[in-house]
Amino acid sequence: MIVALAAAALLAGCGGGDDSTESAPVATTPTVEAVTQAELIERGDTICAEVNAAVGTVATAETGAGAEQAAGLYSGMVDSLKGIGAPQETEGYPEFIAAAEALGTAEDEVELAAEREDTAALESAESTSSSALANFQAAADEYGFEECSEGPSAPVSPGTESEAGETGSAEAPEEPEAEAVEPEAEAAPEPAPETGGAGGTAEGGGTTGTPEGGGETGGSSGGVGPG
């Protein structure tokens, strides 16, 4: 009897309470920022320019270390481009982002093969990534990107650039022009002294004349002879 009463009291205690149930948390999907096509191109080109310069610095490295670093840079570039968000103008964007994702996948394979030091797999992965990079650059150019459609390029240091500028701008020394030698003017011939005339002398004589210049008196050399 006592046991039955205790069981009844226990059941009564369990029956009371709130019948409401707690709702399970709802998973939220992160929203992607909407940008314009012009904003996407501007921000994307900035990212690609930085990556192209960085890849250019490791492009001369031997296969393996250089390839792994370049692959990591390209993978990060793809993630950054996707992080910008989908543009409001969707035309052409699906093709571009698909090419970017394909590039990211190919570069991941390069990184994996390089980490494993698998030469054969690395060569195959590099061939695939090269093709994927070309497709990405073509899609970027089609969409309107500039830097993303270009290949890697090593940055030029200010010193090298200035030296190149000075070398390019240096002009060949001008050869001195030969001075034209003008021929000396020939001296005019001196007039011959006058031997006669009215009142002239070689030295400015008067009307009487002199033996050198001859005047009126000198002009008549003969007189009245004897008988």
Pair 199, 213: CB distance under 8 Å: no
Helix (H, G, I), strand (E, B) or coil at 35: strand
Question: Could you report the per-residue pLDDT of 10-55, keeping only the tens digit for each?
Answer: 445 555 555 555 565 565 555 556 789 999 999 999 999 999 999 9
Dihedral sign (CA 136, 55, 72, 121)? positive
Question: Could you report the per-residue pLDDT of 74-116, keeping only the tens digit for each?
Answer: 999 999 999 999 998 888 999 999 999 999 999 999 999 999 9
Contacts of 113 (CB under 8 A, 6+ apart): 121, 122, 124, 125
Six-digit token pair at 40? 């996407």
Six-digit token pair at 179? 């001075």
Beta bridge partner(s), residue 87: 35
Question: Could you report the per-residue pLDDT of 177-190, keeping only the tens digit for each?
Answer: 655 555 555 555 56
Please tell me the pTM assigned to this model: 0.55
Question: Could you report the per-residue pLDDT of 142-171, keeping only the tens digit for each?
Answer: 999 999 999 887 655 555 444 444 544 445
Q: What's at 155, amino acid-wise?
A: P
Six-digit token pair at 24? 């399970």
- CA pair distance 143, 67, nearest whole angstrom: 27
Pair 202, 194: CB distance under 8 Å: yes
Domains delineated in the chain: 34-149 (1.20.120)
Six-digit token pair at 99? 């090419």
Helix (H, G, I), strand (E, B) or coil at 87: strand
